[in-house]
Amino acid sequence: MATTYPAHLPVLLFSLLSSACGDEAPIVTVGDVMFDDPELQQCFEQGFIPFPDDADVSLVQQLDCGLPAEDIEDLTGIEILSGLGRLSLVGQQKIDDYSPILGLPNLIELELRESRVENSDLNVISQLGQLKRLEIILGNLGDVSKIANLVNLEYLALSSSAVTDGVDLFTNLPKLRTILLGGNPNIPCVDLQKMRDAFPDANISPETLEPGISCTE
C-alpha cells in the first residue's frame, strides 16, 4: 500500500533545504560602492588602480587618501573593502573615529601621516593584530604601550608623534625589524637602549636610522 504524504510536505522540505544551504550573498561591485562621506567617496574613486564598475570590490587591495581628498571626516562603510591590505590616510585632520577599520580583516599596512591621531585612537589601532607595517607620523600619542599588542609588526614608524612612554614594551614584538622614532625627544634614553639590546640587528640606532634622534635622561 502506497504511503500518502501531506500535500504541503514538498514545500516544507524545499524550505528546509534552502535554509540549510543558504543563499549565496550577492557580489558587491566597485560600481555599487557609495560612502556617506563625499571625500572618502572621492578617494575611493581616485585613490587606487581603477577597476571596471562590475569588478568584485574585494579585489581592491590598496587605498591611498590624501590630496585632493584630504577632508575625510567619517570612515563609516570602509569595511565593504574587505580585501584591503593597505590603507594610507595622509593629511586627514578631521577623522575622530578609526573604529570602522576594524572591519578590514586583511589590512596589514596602515599609514597615518600628518593626520589627526591621538593616544585614544591607539585603543582601536592596537586591535589590528594582523598589521605588519604601521606608520604614524606627526601624531600626538604620548604612551604607546598598546602598540605592543601588535605582535606581527615588522615595521614601525612613530616619528615626531610626541611619544613619551611605552617604547620599552616593543621588545616583546618578535618580528619587529625596523623602528623609526626620530623627533620624539621625551622618550627615556633607557627605553631606547633596551630596544637596541633586544634588537641588535634592527634599524634603531642614530647611525643607521635618523641622525637627529634624541631622548631624555
Q: Could you tell me if residue 71 is inside a domain? A: yes
Query: How many CB atoms within 10 Å of residue 112?
Result: 23
How far is 184 from 172, CA to CA, in rounded Å?
21
- Which of 19-33, 53-67, 112-126, 188-202 ranks highest by mean pLDDT? 112-126
Q: Starting at the edge strand that comes first in sequence, how are the strands of the sheet with 62-65 ordered?
A: 62-65, 86-90, 109-113, 133-137, 155-157, 178-180
Q: Could you tell me if residue 66 is inside a domain? A: yes
pTM assigned to the model: 0.82
Q: Looking at the predicted structure, is the pLDDT value of residue 29 above 60?
A: yes
Q: Could you tell me if residue 18 is inside a domain? A: no
Q: Could you tell me if residue 11 is inside a domain? A: no
**pLDDT, average across residues 138-146:** 96
Phi and psi angles of residue 180, each rounded to the nearest 5 degrees, phi first: -110, 115
Q: Looking at the predicted structure, is the pLDDT value of residue 20 above 50?
A: no
Q: Could you tell me if residue 111 is inside a domain? A: yes
The DSSP-derived string for 89-124 is EES--S----GGGGG-TT--EEEEESS--BGGGHHH
Distances (CA, A) of 138 to 12, 27, 156, 182: 62, 39, 14, 11
Mean pLDDT for the chain overall: 83
Angle at 67 between CA 128 and CA 56, to 5 degrees: 55
- Domain of 147, CATH number, reads 3.80.10.10
How far is 72 from 140, CA to CA, in rounded Å?
19
**pLDDT, average across residues 193-199:** 82
Q: Could you tell me if residue 150 is inside a domain? A: yes
159: Cβ–Cβ under 8 A, 6 or more apart, which residues?
137, 138, 180, 181, 182, 183, 184, 210
The DSSP-derived string for 62-79 is EEEE-TT-------TTGG
Q: Could you tell me if residue 207 is inside a domain? A: no
Q: Which domain holds residue 94?
A: 26-198
Q: Looking at the predicted structure, is the pLDDT value of residue 48 above 80?
A: no
Domain count, the chain: 1
Q: Could you tell me if residue 204 is inside a domain? A: no
